[in-house]
Amino acid sequence: MKRILLAGALDAASQNFVRQLSQNSQLDLTVYTSSAVSLPESVMALTEEVLDEGGLSAAMLDQDLVVALVPTIRLAKMASTLATAVQAAGNPQLIISRTDDIEELPLEERHARQTLAAAGVAFDIVDGFGGISSLLGVSTTSATVFGPGEEVPLERFAG
């Protein structure tokens, strides 16, 4: 069983993604978020501030993989926190997923990559839930999971 920590703010799409992942019997999920959310009973929920290095490090202990949901504007700042926490937790694999589709801030991603590489952290930066699912090697219901830049069919909003 793969132990995964999902860290970051959770919106409705993120919560749906967590619900879908929780149905995979090969995954043991823990969510670390400051968001007030409702999660499946099989998911361990830790409500803490994501920028708290100590709390984040503790949450990463014994995890095989850490998935950080980060808006582009906070990539560089969050990279430093993630690098410190990952090192303190024994270097679990890190996936960072941008939670928006802002392309106008390439320096944020470049600085984040430089910070993580300099710290010796094994990481991938992806866009959206499809990128996370692909790296996890799991499938989710693509009709109900939408990430940055992904189009939502109009019938999704039909009443």
CATH code where residue 117 lies: 3.40.50.720
pLDDT of residue 141: 57
**Residue 43 structural domain:** 2-157
Euclidean distance between CA atoms 81 and 57, whole angstroms: 9
pLDDT at 21 > cutoff 80: yes
pTM over cut 0.85: no
Task: Classify each residue of 130-147 as buried b or exposed e, where b means 16 or more C-beta atoms within 10 Å of its C-beta.
Answer: bbbbeebebebeeeebbb
Average pLDDT over residues 13-41: 92
Residue 36 vs residue 153, higher pLDDT: 36
Ranges 61-65, 75-79, 101-105: which has the least confidence: 101-105
pLDDT of residue 144: 42
What pLDDT, in 10s, does the model give residues 98-125?
Answer: 988 888 888 999 999 999 999 999 999 9
Nearest to 11 by CA among 77, 70, 72, 80: 70
DSSP state of 157: G
Alpha helices in the chain (DSSP H): 12-22, 53-60, 75-88, 106-118, 128-136
Q: Whole-number mean pLDDT of the chain?
A: 85
Domain count, the chain: 1
